[in-house]
Homo-oligomer: A and B are copies of this chain.
Amino acid sequence: MRSTGSRTASANKVDLTARLRAAGLRPTRQRIALGKLLFGPHDRHVTAESLHQEAVKVGAHLSLATVYNTLHQFTGAGLLRQVIVDGDKTYFDTNTGDHHHFYYEDEGLLADIPGDHVTIDGLPRPPSGTEIERVEVVVRLKARG
């Protein structure tokens, strides 16, 4: 039997509390509620608005400002990653590992590109004085017409 603790471990309150504390964040009611929604069995892509609505739907009582705060704190703590594919809203991804995305432009939906089979060749080395922080591939999809 495997112990919990993988990157996508499901999130019981104990785990979350520990994780939050490890990140220097007090385990408040709001952060725990959001953590439970985010760090479930599968990876997720949310926006502040979508997560807030979801939280309200399950009876959590918190403001949109708190959702924004929390998403940024989680990101700072390495629990989330920001993904920019649309100028209008910011997505947050619970998968913080190295991976890429499909973006369904019509629906504004994001999906991880499965597997890490993707390789990128022929990239020039970074200009002097700089270093690569990340290489992001976005495959923009549209409905087949």
Is A54 part of the binding interface, using a Cβ–Cβ cutoff of 8 Å? no
Assuming the A-B contacts A122-B119, A143-B130, are A135 and B136 also in contact, with contact meaning beta carbons closer than 8 angstroms in the complex? no
Is A126 part of the binding interface, using a Cβ–Cβ cutoff of 8 Å? yes
Chain B residues whose C-beta falls within 8 Å of the C-beta of A132 in the assembled complex: 139-141
When all copies of this chain in the complex are counted, the total is 2
In the complex, A89 Cα to B141 Cα: how many Å?
A: 22
Is A113 part of the binding interface, using a Cβ–Cβ cutoff of 8 Å? yes
Whether A114 contacts B124 by the Cβ 8 Å rule is: yes
Per-residue CB proximity of A103-145 to B under 8 Å, as 1/0? 0110000010111011111111011011111111111111110
A-B contact pairs, 30 of them (CB 8 A): A84-B87, A87-B87, A102-B126, A105-B133, A114-B124, A117-B121, A117-B122, A117-B124, A118-B120, A118-B122, A119-B120, A119-B121, A119-B122, A120-B137, A123-B137, A126-B139, A129-B143, A130-B141, A130-B142, A130-B144, A131-B142, A131-B143, A131-B144, A132-B139, A133-B141, A133-B142, A134-B140, A135-B138, A136-B140, A138-B138
Chain A residues within CB distance 8 Å of chain B = 84-87, 89-90, 102, 104-105, 111, 113-115, 117-124, 126-127, 129-144
